[in-house]
Structure 1
Amino acid sequence: MSETTEPGSPRVGGTVLGSTDPRRLWEWYRDVFAPGLTRDGAEDGGPVRHLRLGGTYVVFEARDDVGRKSVEPGRVLVNFEVTDIREMERRLDAQLNPRWIRPVETVDEHVLLGTLEDPDGNYVQLCDTTADGTPA
């Protein structure tokens, strides 16, 4: 995708994921996207945790106005650009056994996509634009 904003336009600073169990959700995202990370990003054990990924934040916040599971998980997909999506798929299958909503597949000659479900039922999309598009 090409950038279409003008200088000085707003940019997405982060994504907030409200949860009844933000620590569980934070741990899952940490295991998926930052498996070597040990610090949890919470201030003094407070209710808000975060991960800084690719120059933006994913924030995990305790909320009492959300259910334990998302009722419309396809409404908003958080998309993460990754490298070596096939290796990531193998690691996730071995370590987390996630529910794949859309298995990793070739979208065009340079893009592989896959969508999985996080513990709260949100859909998380993985996109690899560094791939050659050859199925593994």
Structure 2
Amino acid sequence: MAALGSLLLSSTKPDRLRDFYATAFSPKVERTPGDGPGYDVLDFDGFYVMIDTRDDIGDTNPEPGRVLLNFDVEDARSTVDSLNAAGATWLAELEDRDGSYFATAIDPDGNYVQIIQLSAEHRAQMERK
């Protein structure tokens, strides 16, 4: 069985994208070594988001609903504040769904970023399945 361990986000402005995620979520950030342009690695507790640049992409994601970055958070309201500080715009404001909280922000490249704070009851239901 394979384990999903990382995701590559390509951007025409990788430093801006790195700064957005670093401000919003405070991951450990490392720059790859070497003489070339390199790329940034954001460590989200063992899941890695690599931010790189490419010359075959546009400035914004034309189909942002195709892949959403889901972040499980402990305090959705605080995370909304951090995303606002990072300059996020909102596709869907924070919503309480039977004790669980969901919101969808848009990063500077137009990617959708969903935050999820599941209630203890919802987590228990998932674990029973």
State TM-score, norm by structure 1. Answer: 0.78
Verify: 1:66 aligned to 2:60, yes or no. Answer: no
Structure 2 residue 55 is matched with structure 1 residue 99: no
- CA RMSD, Structure 1 to Structure 2 (Å): 2.2
Superposition pairs of residues 34-113 of structure 1, within 5 angstroms: 34=26, 40-44=30-34, 46-93=37-84, 95-109=85-99, 111-113=100-102
Q: Which runs of 4+ in 1 moved over 4 A?
A: 130-133
**Deviation, structure 1 residue 83:** 1.1
**Partner Cα distance (2:11, 2:118) in 1:** 30
Q: Aligned partners of 2:77 and 2:34: how far apart in 1?
A: 37
CA distance in 2, matches of 1:131, 1:100: 26
Which residue of the other structure, out of 114, 118, 123, is the alignment partner of 2:107?
Answer: 118
Normalising to structure 2: TM-score of the pair?
A: 0.82
Mapped partners of 2:119, 2:41: distance in 1: 27
Residues 65 and 23 of structure 1: is their aligned pair in 2 closer, same or farther, counting only changes over 3 Å? same
Percent of matched pairs sharing the same residue: 36
SS in 2 for 1:86: helix
Amino acid at match of 1:100: W
Partner of 2:25: 33
- 1:30 and 1:72 map into 2 onto residues whose CA distance is 24
Write the deviation string for residues 15-74 of structure 1: whole angstroms up to 9, x where unpaired: 100111111111111111117x5x542325733111010211000011111100010111
Aligned residue pairs, count: 121
